[in-house]
Each structure stands twice: as C-alpha cells, then as structure tokens.
C-alpha cells in the first residue's frame, strides 16, 4: 500500500466550538480574498482551498459559488 | 321625639333628602375600615369578552376564515372602550366619591411597579432577539452585521435628535411633579403640556423617519429585529403620551392635589421607563447595530 497522506484542515483556535460552520465559512472567504489579492493560480491560495474543501459541505460550496456568480454573495469577500 | 335620621339610601323624601353620594358617606362611616369594596361592575366581563373577540378574530384573520378582520377590530375597539369606562369609574370612585384612602392608594401605586416591570420584560425579549441575531450573525447572511445591502439609518441624524427630545419630555414630567407637590396648579398644567408636546414631536419625527427609511420590516432579520424593537417602543410612547394627556386634563380640572396624585405618579413612572428604554435602544440598536 502506497503511503497516502491523510490530512484535514488544522484546528483553528478562533473556532473552538463543535459547530465548525463559521470555520468553513471563514476559510472560504479567506481563499477568495487570497485569490483577489494574489491572482487566480497562485500557490499560497491552494492551502486555503484545501481547508475549505475539507471543512465545508459540498452543497454550501455550490450555493456560494452560484451566489458569487450572480453577485449576491452576502459575505465580506 | 324626633326620629333619628335613618341610614338608608333613599333618594330623598324622608326628612330633608339624602343624595346617594351623601348617603354613601354615611355608609363609609358605618364601614369601620378604610378599604374600598367596589360596587358590582360590568367592565371586567366586558373586557374579557373583548379579549375573547380579539384573540379569536386575530386567529381567524391569520388563517383563511371569513370575518376575522372584522371580529379582531371589534374586539380591539371593545377593549379600548372597556378601558375608557373602567378607568372613568376609578376616577369617579376616587376623586369624586373619595374612596381612595391612604391604604387604598397603596394598591395602584405599588401595583404599577410590577406592571412596568412586566413591560420591561416584554421589551427585553425584543432586545434579546436583536442581540441574538446581531452579536453572532449567521453564515447565511454572510457573518456580518448589518447584513450586506441593508441600508441603515445614520444614528447621528434623526435618532440623535429624538433621544434628547424624549429625555426633555421626561424632565418636563418631573417639572410637573414638582409643581404639583408645590401646589402650583397652573404651572403643572403648562409642564404637562410641554411633556405632551415634546412627546408628539418625537412621535412625528419617528413616523417621518420610518416613512423615508432605506430598509423596511421585511428586509432580512435586520429589518425584523429593528422594526419590532423600535416599533413596540413607539407603541409604548404613544400609550405614555395618552396617559400624560389624561393627567394634563385632570390637572386642569383640579383633580390632583399635592398629597394625592397616584395616577400622575404612575404616568410619570411609565414615562421614565419609556425614556430609559429609548436610551438602551439608541445605544444598542441604532448606534452599535448600524456600525
């Protein structure tokens, strides 16, 4: 068996609670702010992308992407 | 031997004519206690029927039944009518018939305090609702407060003017109280006129502000919490204004004396409560909530 590295988003002391929705949301926002600052394909933003993809439910990510496309995403991007 | 004057409530053909009121004085003398046992009255049952009509009509209105709105309005009108006639009877019994001795006065005086506390609890619920939504805004509205796209009122404009208007109105009611205690009857009337005028100006400005506000009650959770908290406060301002107008009228008619003005004191306490709530509203909802 090849060694597969299994990682998830690190524990963030800003979100100590069991409910990690805000953690997911914050990582999503951080990714998009990073992309806005550093450009589409930059590698620093890859880290945030992995975090939000492991934390957030797929449905939420799809809904937020749709909202962003329509210009109605409510968060502080 | 001339017979003793009978202690009856006859309407006046025996020996000189006793009016019912005068006869009641005799009744009080024979009462041997200083409490007030009220005469039978239809107002409690009429108030209950009004409340029944209001609640049933309200439910009918909110569900698809015919006639709900009519029943609801009839019920509300009936409740208002009951309040008017009941309190008119209280005024008749106290000011005109003299039943409100010192111990009887303690009832309404110290009873208005639990009433005001219950009103505080009611408004506290709306403050809590506002804090619940604004201190930790949910992910669905973007984790920020006020939510994106909601136009908030600048707290430095009309709210900042209206708060001192209400405060001055509270000062005016204290002025009126001191005038009553000093026996300066005309000055007390002027002070109450000042209280009511400031209150009406406040209400007018609030109405104008609601009319031209950038967001409405149905605009997200912000609109709901803002409108309910400020709206119910405004409703209490209107009730307090009405109470103060009645005190002004009574003072003008000479009902209030420097030792005995329980109704006025209750109105003043209520008015100060409304004022304090406005201060909390301004700081937490207008000022903090709009940043």
**Which pLDDT tens digit goes with each residue over A5-61?**
888 889 999 999 999 999 999 999 999 999 988 887 778 888 889 999 999 999 999
Contact call for A76 and B144, based on CB within 8 A? yes
Token pair for A47: 């880290």
Mean pLDDT of B199-225: 92
Question: Would an 8 Å CB–CB cutoff place A74 in contact with chain B?
Answer: yes
Among the listed residues B144, B276, B252, B258, the one whose alpha carbon sits nearest the alpha carbon of residue B190: B252
For position A1, what pLDDT does the model report?
Answer: 60
Residue B8 pLDDT greater than 60, yes or no: no
pLDDT in tens, B162-198: 999 999 999 999 999 999 999 999 999 999 999 999 9
For position B15, what pLDDT does the model report?
Answer: 45
- Would the pTM count as exceeding 0.80? yes
Q: Say which CATH number the domain at A58 has.
A: 1.10.10.140
CA distances (Å), B80 to each of A11, B41, B93, B119, B200, in order? Answer: 60, 16, 20, 18, 21
For position B87, what pLDDT does the model report?
Answer: 93
Contact call for A26 and B140, based on CB within 8 A? no
In a domain, A50, yes or no: yes
| Helix ranges (DSSP H) in B32-157 | 43-62, 68-91, 102-135
Show residues of chain A in contact with B149, CB under 8 Å. Answer: 74
Question: Would an 8 Å CB–CB cutoff place A76 in contact with chain B?
Answer: yes
State the ipTM, two decimals: 0.81
Show residues of chain A in contact with B147, CB under 8 Å. Answer: 74
For position B47, what pLDDT does the model report?
Answer: 96
Instruction: Note down the domain range covering A54.
Output: 21-69
Contact call for A22 and B142, based on CB within 8 A? no
In a domain, A34, yes or no: yes
For position B24, what pLDDT does the model report?
Answer: 52
Mean pLDDT of B146-159: 89
Give me the residue spans of the domains in chain B: 2-101, 103-290
pLDDT in tens, A57-73: 999 999 999 999 999 99
Q: For residues B231-253, b (16+ Cβ closer than 10 Å) or e, as one string?
A: ebbbebbeebbebbbbbbebbee
In a domain, A5, yes or no: no
For position B188, what pLDDT does the model report?
Answer: 94
The architecture that CATH gives domain B2-101 is: Orthogonal Bundle (1.10)
Please tell me the total count of domains within chain A: 1
Show residues of chain A in contact with B143, CB under 8 Å. Answer: 22, 25-26, 29, 75-76
Mean pLDDT of B147-152: 89
Q: Name the pLDDT band for B29 (thresholds 50, 70, 90).
A: low
Among the listed residues B150, B188, B86, B179, the one whose alpha carbon sits nearest the alpha carbon of residue B291: B150
For position B5, what pLDDT does the model report?
Answer: 43
The CATH topology of domain B103-290 is 1.20.120
Q: From A29, which residue of chain B is nearest by alpha-carbon distance? A: B142
């Amino acid at each position: 068996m090849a060694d597969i590295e299994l990682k998830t988003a690190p524990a963030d002391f800003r979100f100590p609670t069991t409910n990690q929705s805000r953690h997911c949301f914050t990582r999503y926002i951080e990714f998009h702010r990073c992309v806005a600052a550093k450009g589409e394909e930059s590698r620093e933003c890859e880290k945030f992308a992995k975090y939000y993809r492991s934390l957030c439910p797929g449905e939420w990510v799809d809904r937020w992407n749709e909202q962003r496309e329509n210009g109605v995403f409510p968060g502080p991007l | 031997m001339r017979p003793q004057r009978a202690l009856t409530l006859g309407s006046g053909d025996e020996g000189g004519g006793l009016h019912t009121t005068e006869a009641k004085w005799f009744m009080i003398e024979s009462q041997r206690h200083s409490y007030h046992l009220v005469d039978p009255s239809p107002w409690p049952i009429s108030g209950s029927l009004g409340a029944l009509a209001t609640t049933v009509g309200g439910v009918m209105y909110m569900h698809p039944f015919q006639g709900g709105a009519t029943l609801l309005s009839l019920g509300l009108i009936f409740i208002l009518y009951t309040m008017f006639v009941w309190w008119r009877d209280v005024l008749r019994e106290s000011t005109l018939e003299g039943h409100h001795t010192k111990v009887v006065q303690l009832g309404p005086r110290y009873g208005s305090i639990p009433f005001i506390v219950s009103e505080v609890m009611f408004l506290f619920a709306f403050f809590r609702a506002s804090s619940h939504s604004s201190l930790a805004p949910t992910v669905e509205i973007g984790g920020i407060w006020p939510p994106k796209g909601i136009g908030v009122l600048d707290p430095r404009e009309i709210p900042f003017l209206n708060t001192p208007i209400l405060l001055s109105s509270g000062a005016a009611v204290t002025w009126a109280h001191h005038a009553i205690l000093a026996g300066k009857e005309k000055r007390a009337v002027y002070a109450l006129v000042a209280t009511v005028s400031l209150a009406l100006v406040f209400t007018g400005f609030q109405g104008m502000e609601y009319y031209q506000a950038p967001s409405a009650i149905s605009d997200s959770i912000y609109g709901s919490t803002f409108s309910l908290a400020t709206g119910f406060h405004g409703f209490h301002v209107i009730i307090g204004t009405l109470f103060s107008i009645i005190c002004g009228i009574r003072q003008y008619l000479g009902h209030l004396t420097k030792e005995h003005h329980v109704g006025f004191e209750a109105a003043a306490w209520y008015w100060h409560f409304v004022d304090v709530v406005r201060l909390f509203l301004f700081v937490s909802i207008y000022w903090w909530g709009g940043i």
